[in-house]
Amino acid sequence: MELPEARYNLNSGSGSHAEETGKMLIGIEKILLKEKPDIVLLQGDTNTVLAGALVASKLHIKIGHIEAGVRSYDRKMPEEINRIITDHVSDYLFAPVETARKILLKEGIQGDKIIVTGNTIVDAIYQNLEIAQKKVDTLNKLNLQSKKYFLVTAHRQENVDCKDRLKGIFEGLELIYDEFNFPVIYPIHPRTMKMIKEFKLKIPSGIKLIEPLGFLDFLQLEKHASLILTDSGGIQMESCILHTPCVTLRDNTEWMETIEVGSNILSGCEPKNILESVIEMIDKNVNWENPFGDGTSASQIINVLKSQPI
């Protein structure tokens, strides 16, 4: 992606939420004590974001949360806990949409801390689509035709750790393949593969499991898919920005804007619901309005921070 290499790697690996977050707390604290930054910027809702927020707040370093105010209202999702805590210890809350600003105000956060900037994911997609066109040729590599395949991702704990939900997803994908006869491309997450083996699930015909892809390859697949099925919050946004219809394999979403503009629909994990949702979305008019900004979010965030006294 033509970015500089990271200066630090915490080597926190994978593990339980406690193990991951604990290793990150230790590693991030050492780095912040060494670097003495004026502000720590945190993007999204991962365990890394939570760890960074906790360390910076206890070291009395200012915090800017990018993608603040996003809510699914489902506290079974670890991401929901991460973003709520991060928002409430942050000094600058960069909300991606107006709805997020209103949510933060209702939670008692001061209005002068909140700035609606759009989402930096738009910046990333616009920049990296150009780079992808120069560097990768994923469709040829996988022998796919533009708008003649489905793209799938499913990795969330509530889906892949539950046998009935994961089995329902695969049965839904089989129904889709039988209905449309388009290949179903599924870059498989290691966690999902582990649970497929543990549950002894059979992969239906027409579903092609492939190794996880780099962002440029995946972005190209998203752009040219006839439709995306996912349980990822980020991919719901990416599909909306790329004007590719999306079916979300969940019962709720933190990105209601995608539902409102018509780029996305919730199907849950019941096979018939998945098929019906795909049938509804496959011929959708894709000329919806992108609600997530114009690709200048990063510049807006930097300009806000440059204008602040240190």
Has residue 170 got a pLDDT over 70? yes
Question: Residue 113 and residue 110: Cα distance in Å, rounded?
Answer: 6
Q: How many CB atoms lie within 10 A of CB 245?
A: 25
Has residue 310 got a pLDDT over 80? no
Question: Residue 237 and residue 92: Cα distance in Å, rounded?
Answer: 23
Residue 172 is which amino acid?
A: G
Average of per-residue pLDDT across 108-128: 96
Has residue 4 got a pLDDT over 80? yes
Distance of alpha carbon 144 from the chain centroid: 24
The predicted structure's pLDDT at residue 30:
98
Q: In the chain, what percentage of residues exceed pLDDT 90?
A: 90
Average of per-residue pLDDT across 3-8: 94
Contacts of 63 (CB under 8 A, 6+ apart): 39, 40, 41, 42, 52, 53, 56, 57, 86, 89, 90, 91, 92
pLDDT band at 165 (very low <50, low <70, confident <90, very high): very high
Q: How many CA atoms lie within 13 A of 262 on its CB side?
A: 10
Report the predicted TM-score, pTM, of the whole model to 2 decimal places: 0.86
Supply the mean pLDDT for the chain. 95
Name all domains of the chain by residue range, CATH numbers in brackets: 17-119+294-306 (3.40.50.2000), 123-282 (3.40.50.2000)
The predicted structure's pLDDT at residue 23:
96
- Out of 60, 155, 189, 224, pick the active-site residue: 155
pLDDT band at 20 (very low <50, low <70, confident <90, very high): very high
Structure tokens belonging to residue 20: 């991951």
The reply to whether 60 belongs to the active site is no
Average of per-residue pLDDT across 86-105: 97
pLDDT in tens, 35-84: 999 999 999 999 999 999 999 999 999 999 999 999 989 898 889 999 99
Angle between helices 120-135 and 215-224 (to 10 degrees): 90
Helices (H), 46-189: 47-58, 78-89, 98-106, 120-135, 138-141, 157-160, 163-180
Question: Residue 202 and residue 21: Cα distance in Å, rounded?
Answer: 34
Average of per-residue pLDDT across 89-116: 97
Rounded CA Rg of the chain: 20
Q: In the chain, what percentage of residues exceed pLDDT 70?
A: 100
Angle between helices 215-224 and 233-242 (to 10 degrees): 50
Three-state DSSP state, 152: strand
